[in-house]
Every structure is written in C-alpha cells, then in structure tokens.
Amino acid sequence: MHQFTSIMFSLLVITGLQVSVQTGEKRSEPNLDRPYKSELTVTNGGGWGFWGEVDMCPDGTYAAGFSLKEHEAECRRQCGVYLQEHLEDWRKAYSFSFSNGLGSVLKVEAPVGQADDTALNGIRLYCVGSGNLTDSYPSYCKVQSDVASWGQWTDITWCPSALLTAFQLSVEPPQGNADDTAANNIMFRCSNGVSQLGNGTDLGDWGDWSDTCEGTGICGLRTLVELPQGNGDDTALNDVIMYCCD
C-alpha cells in the first residue's frame, strides 16, 4: 500500500557519509572523488526514493566485509491477517508472542501503524588494504551512503582472506494494498569464490548476480533510500550501486 505524499521535499538530510578508522578513534575525510574502474548494478532493485552520495574507501583500500542495518519484520506474512484482526487489542501491549501453527513461536513487537516494516535500511562496507588479507581485521575503515532511521546494525561479515567482488539483492516486489518493504537482504561474492549472505530478512526474492568487478575489488557504494512517508508506507533502502577500483 505504498503511497507517495502529495508534497515531496527535495531537502535531503545527509546522514553519515562517514569514513572512520576503528583503532585510535581517528577519522579521515570521506573520499568521494576516488576514481573507479567499473559500476556493479542489479536489475531487481526497488524504485522508491532518492539516490544518496557516493562514498568510497580511502585510496589503497578495498571492501573485505559488510554489515546491514535491518528493521526486523513486525509481522510475518503467515500471521498478517490474524494480526490485523486483533490490531486494536495488541496496540495496547508492548509485546506479545504468537504461534504460527507450525510448531514455532514468533515474538512480535507491537505493530507500528499498520505494521509498517522497512527491512533493509542501510549497508556499510569495511575497507582494508589488499596486501594482508585475513579472516578478520583489528583496524579498518567503514563507509556508507544514505541510511534510513529504522533498525539496528548487524555484526560484520568478512570475506575469508578475500575482497568483495560482486553482489546479489533480495527485493520484495510491490505488494499492492499490503505493506511494501523493497530491499530485504544482500549477498556478496568474494574474490576467492566464497559467497557471504547478509543477516537480513526473508520477505524478498533474489535477483540475478551483478557483474564481477573489473579491477581489484569493490571500493565504494551509493544507495537509493526513500525518505520517511509520515502516514504512508515506508520502504527505506530500495537499491544500491557498488563501485570497483584498480
């Protein structure tokens, strides 16, 4: 039930665009002008929102890990109708548990509005030098493009002794009168052939893989994020472009 508000503001709040070094609490300026070799895109991204600024790893570094900002689904599809029938009763509660009839129990937060879930809200890349690749890193730089306000950041997922070189996006198609979530999850392919799945939600459908990097590896990103819709349907992150550098 995605609705655009009648008045769209062109003012974009630039949130983040941070490049921060984890050790020593040092920070460096975002590297927005680093030349890149190729762009990676997918064909199934959502179409709502505005493209944010490009954010690039510092010169000489490449993305070896990633994390996601996820807004956990507040009602799964299999219990959505039941929740709507009892929405007024459950709005009064802070939380509740509900059995889905398949032997499992879902602990669900009190619905927000009409159970408006946004799923994927942001993507961070973690950049390291390419000379000493390992399974984890004591120091690294993190970069991100635009990020929506809902959800929590997941733990970092690293490529084992490798760099990120391609990606695949899980996106829920438009739901008509139901709740839209757009992008739900991402999977990366590493330079050693290993695929690393993000800790996202499972409401979307996986599209095709992007091309593989021309160059050393992924070195930056740009996200398509929808601004908050007020009483309308929020989707947060819809699509992403990855950049590859020599």
**67 and 139 share one domain:** yes
Asked if residue 133 belongs to a domain, the reply is yes
Asked if residue 43 belongs to a domain, the reply is yes
Give the whole-angstrom CA distance, residue 21 versus residue 127. 10
**105 and 118 share one domain:** no
Q: pLDDT, tens digit, for every residue of 109-165? A: 223 444 556 778 899 999 999 998 999 899 999 999 999 878 889 999 999 999 999
Residue finishing a domain among 109, 132, 154: 109
* Cα dihedral 136, 137, 143, 149 sign: positive
**58 and 92 share one domain:** no
Asked if residue 7 belongs to a domain, the reply is no
Query: What DSSP assignment string belongs to 190-212?
Result: ETTS-EEE-S--SSSEE-PPPPP
**102 and 63 share one domain:** no
Q: How many domains does the chain have?
A: 2
CATH number of domain containing 241 = 2.100.10.20
- Domain span at 218: 19-73+114-245
Q: pLDDT, tens digit, for every residue of 54-110? A: 999 999 999 999 999 987 644 444 444 444 444 455 455 544 443 333 332 321 222
**86 and 154 share one domain:** no
Q: pLDDT, tens digit, for every residue of 164-182? A: 999 999 998 877 665 677 8
Confidence (pLDDT) at 144: 95
Take residue 9 and report the two structure tokens written for it. 């503001």
